Chains A and B, each alone.
Chain A
Amino acid sequence: QVQLVQSGSELKEPGASVKVSCKASGYTFTTYAITWVRQAPGQGLEWMGWINTNTGNPMYAQGFRGRFVFSLDTSVSTAYLEISSLTAAETAVYYCAKSTQCDNWGQGTLVTVSS
C-alpha cells in the first residue's frame, strides 16, 4: 500500500535551517508529484508547492519562494523540504502528499522555531 513516511519533529533556533524528508513506498516514486503543505498551529492547510519527481522541477507558491527548497533523491524514493533562515513564523506541521491532487499524505513533521 502507498505510504509516505516523514522525518521526526525538529526544534530549531531562529536563523537556523531544517531539512524534512518524505520517504515514499508502495508505488513508483517518479510517476507522481510530491506536494508540500503547511499547517500552522490551530490553523488551516496552506499549499506550499510541488516537485515533479520525474524532472526534479519544483513549483513554489508565492509565499514560499526564496528560503524554501524542494529536492529529491529518487534512488531512495525520498523528497525533501529545506527551509533556511528560520523564524518563529515557520513553526508549523509540514506535510508531504502524493500527487498534485494530494491523494495520500505523510504523518506530518512538526518544526518548532524557538530560542
Chain B
Amino acid sequence: DVVMTQSPLSLPVTLGQPASISCRSSQSLVHSDGNTYLNWFQQRPGQSPRRLIYRVSNRDSGVPDRFSGSGSGTDFTLKISRVEAEDVGVYYCMQGTHWPRTFGQGTKVEIK
C-alpha cells in the first residue's frame, strides 16, 4: 500500500500568518492517465471531512483562495496564505491514484 506521511502533525499558527503542511507518498502518484490524484481534506472539530483540493492544485467549489496546493510525484504541500479562526481543524492528504486509497495521519492546525 502507498504510505502517506504528513508533517508536521501539529501546527500552531498565529492568525493572519501563513501555514504550510507537507505530504509525502511512498510511491509516485502519477496515474497512467497522466493525472496526479492527490487530494486535501479539512475536518473542522465535530464536522465531517470536506475536500479542499483535488489533483494537487485544484480548489473545490466554495474553497477560499487562501488555500493552495502544489507539488508533484511524491512531494506535495498545502498552504494557507493567511490563517483565519475558521481554519482550525485537522487536515488530511489522500492519494487517489493507487488501490487501496490511503490517507495521511492528519495535521492538527490550531491558533497560538
Contacts and interface: CB of A to CB of B under 8 A. Distances in A.
A100 interface: yes
A62 B51 contact: no
Interface string A101-112: 111111110000
Contacts of A100: 96, 101
A62 B51 CA distance: 24
A35 B1 CA distance: 17
A102 B94 CA distance: 9
Interface size class of A (residues with CB under 8 A): 20 to 34
B103 A95 contact: no
B49 A47 contact: no
B48 A44 contact: no
A89 interface: no
A34 to B, nearest CB: 13
B92 to A, nearest CB: 6
Interface size class of B (residues with CB under 8 A): 20 to 34
B96 to A, nearest CB: 5
Contacts of A107: 48
Nearest to B48: A105
Interface in A4-52: 35, 37, 44-47, 49
Interface string B1-28: 1000000000000000000000000000
A62 to B, nearest CB: 7
Given A45-B106, A46-B103, A47-B102, A95 B96 contact: no
Nearest to B100: A61
Given A47-B101, A49-B100, A103 B54 contact: yes
A101 B96 CA distance: 6
Interface of A: 35, 37, 44-47, 49, 59, 61-62, 95, 97, 100-108
